[in-house]
Every structure is written in structure tokens, then in C-alpha cells.
Amino acid sequence: MKKRNESKLTVAALMMMAAMAMTSCASSKKINGNSNVGKNSEMGKNEEDLDNSYLVLSDAQQDIVKKNNAFALRLFNKVTDMGSKVISPMSVSYLMGMLANGADGITQQEILKAIGCEGVSVNDLNELYKAMLLNANHQDKQTTVNIANYIAVNKNFKLNKNFSQQVSDGYQAGIESLDFTSPKSTDRINGWCKEKTNGMIPRIIDQVSADAVSYLMNAIYFKGTWQNKFNAKDTKLENFRGYTRDIQKVEMMHQVKKLFYTENKDFKAVDLPYGNGSYRMLVLLPNEGKNIQEMMKGLDEEKLNQISQNMENCMVNLKLPKFTIEQELPLNAIISDLGAPSMFVAGKANFSHFADGNFFVSKMLQKAKIEVNEQGTKAAAVTAAVMLTAMAPEETRNVEFIADRPFVYMIQDSQSGGILFMGQYCGTH
């Protein structure tokens, strides 16, 4: 039977919490052994659906994936409340990875710690993210997964050569020099977001800041067709209990299929595969009397892996709402709380590998959207960081400037340095 490959856990699926009703197993068999994607006829998988570029990760790379999964859980716990949410932890991880390449010292250590990769070398992180990026869209011919990275640089600044090479190679990042005083730069940056998310996220910024040094961005787009599609005729308006026990009417999809399923004292879990099974939505439903926060408190990356190991092939009476969620998430405070505060503080941030100067991240945010219907799922996220320059802190000196003799004066354009007026003063006559 099928054993879940940890390297392919789609962590973002944990964020897609939804209500469902399921029966006990009609027939079950423990999942064990190696992954047999393409060999389980009951699950509708065919070997011809698999791409030859199937991703195989080393033990060390799988360990980094586990660390990133731990970060994903911590990130989710920071944003969960009583409202619907969608985030992409992977998109945040890619952006943080690029920032780690530009950072040094404590700032770099904090960035790695925040994404759960304390003690991991930046080069190892780069190699993993490159492998995942290059193989993402080759895991399943029926599923589209695109990961893209982009750096827009103020034309008045130049990135360090080594940093440019690292992000161009490891992150396949496009690097572009733009005039940040021109409205066309805003259109260019938003146009990149729209293109890389297939129109799901048409814009990430309202206006480029002329003071900004750079905009670093990651975009992830996902489109998957259910391996077991829902029949639209079976979708009906049904009750849904909100957090405050208020009754809502939602479009509830319904099917009875053999699916991998498990349950414990905290929740029920079902695996909804896409295409050939290389990608899936893992849905966790808290047991009656428990809420999402209580359920997530007891879940770490090891228990997350165990969910897949404990799953059985069951006949599942599944009901899942049809939904669309959009979210904009400010990340400064969240990433600081997760262990990387210095990157946001002028004078403390160390981005010496990024470019010549003193830089800090003034703003980090993510926009995400997901659509779930009878056919499958579309999801997209863009995570962006705005880099600014800061004056280096200096010790205060006591000085005098007594203009009691002739002097020269100039009136300049501060941005360009252009001289508007120039003269000298030699006295009253």
C-alpha cells in the first residue's frame, strides 16, 4: 500500500481546515512499506501519470523538510483565530531563504531559526529549495505547481555579485533593475505577481516607494484536479456550525469513496489526493468538543508524519464545503515572534551580503487565495519583503560651526545631488 513520502508533504494543506462527516472504515488496511504511487488501482493511479523527474531527497534534505514543516505549524498557530484563513508556509520559507543569503551574523542565524532550520547551512537550504522548485511541476502531469522568485532592485543600488549568483541559481530568481520613481515599476512588480499566480493575485503593492532599495518576492501557484472528483449534482446547501455555534448555510460537496483515513482522540483525518497522488489535501477535523487551537497544540512535525503512517484505506462518507478564501497577512510581527526580530530593525539588521550599505526589511507580507470546488483546487500565494537602507549608527561628537568668515553655499536636489543654486558669502559688502 501507499506510505507517505515526507519530502512531499504539502504543508499548506493543513491550513485548509474544513468540516466533514465520515463513517468508520468499511474495509481497512494499514499503510506500510515504501510509496507505491501508480500501483494502487483502487486509488485510480496510473504509472503513465508519473513524470520521469520524480523527486528523490536525501536523508539530510528530508530532515530540512521536517524542520520547515515544524515552522509551518508554528506559523499557522500564530495566525489562527475564529476566521477562515489561507497561508503558504512554503512561500514564506522561500522568501526567508533568499533573505538568509543576503544576511550575515545574528540576522542570518535568526532567519534560519525562524523557519526551523537552525544549524542548517545556507548552501544546504539553497540546494533543497532548488531541487523542490525544479521538480515541483514534474511530480504529476495532471497537477500544476509553479514556484517563482523575483527581485526588483532600485536602479540606484547594485546587488553584491555573490548574492545575485546564489539566488539566480538556487532560487531561479529573476533580478531586474527598475526606476522606483516611475509608476511603471509598480505595474511591473504587480504584473509579475499576476503572471506567476495565473491572475489569482493581481497585485501585491499599491505603489513602489522611491526610498525602497529592493522588493524580494516569492510566488507559488497550485492547480490540482481531484483524483476522485465530486459530482456537482450531489452538492447541496447544508448547515455549518461556526465557532460561536451559529448555524450557517454552505455549499456542501458529498461523495462516498475509498480514501485513506485515520482518527484519534483529538481529530479525524482524511487524505484527498490530486492527479496521480503526488499532491494531496490533508484535512483534519477536530473531534466534537474540541476546536482547532486545541487540536493544533498537540500536533508537531513528528505527529504530523505519524498521521500518514496510521492511515487506513477506508470507505469514507465525505462531506466537504465548497469555498473560496482570500487573505492578506502582515508578517513583520509574526516572523519576529518566531525568532527573527533583528532583520526588521534599522541599525541592527545585518544584510552585508545583499549589497554595499546598511539595510533592513521594512515590511513583509503575504497575499494568498484558495478555491475549492467539485473539480479540485486552485491556490496561489505571493510573499514579499521590502528592503530599505539605514544610516549606520555613529557615536555623537561635539563640534562647532561658527561662520564668522567667508563661506560657500549650495542648494541641491537631495535625491540626485543636483545643484540648484551656489554662491559664497564674504560679508555685508
Residue boundaries of the structural domains of the chain? 1-401
The answer to which of 37-46, 132-141, 319-328, 340-349 has the lowest mean pLDDT is 37-46
- The whole-number pLDDT of residue 57 equals 79
Of 41-45, 147-151, 219-223, 294-298, where does the model show the most confidence? 147-151
pLDDT (tens digit per residue) in 65-124: 888 888 888 988 898 887 888 889 999 999 999 999 999 999 999 999 999 999 999 999
- The whole-number pLDDT of residue 367 equals 95
pLDDT at 271 over 90: no
Query: Which CATH number is correct for 1-401, 3.40.50.2300, 3.30.465.10, 3.20.20.140, 3.30.497.10?
Result: 3.30.497.10
* Residue 260 cell numbers, joined: 485513506
Q: What percent of the chain has pLDDT over 70?
A: 77
Nearest Cα residue to 145 out of 220, 201, 214: 220
Stretch 228-246: mean pLDDT = 86
pLDDT at 343 over 80: yes
Q: How far is CA 172 from the centre of its chain?
A: 16
Torsion over CA: 149, 155, 156, 157 (sign): positive
| C-alpha distance from residue 378 to each of 8, 84, 351, 375, 405 (Å) | 18, 16, 35, 10, 73
Stretch 360-376: mean pLDDT = 93
Nearest Cα residue to 167 out of 126, 111, 221, 217: 126
**Residue type (1 letter), 370:** I
Beta bridge partners of 380: 221, 369
pLDDT at 280 over 70: yes
Nearest Cα residue to 124 out of 82, 84, 159, 170: 170
**Residues near 62 by Cβ (< 8 Å), separated by ≥ 6?**
6, 7
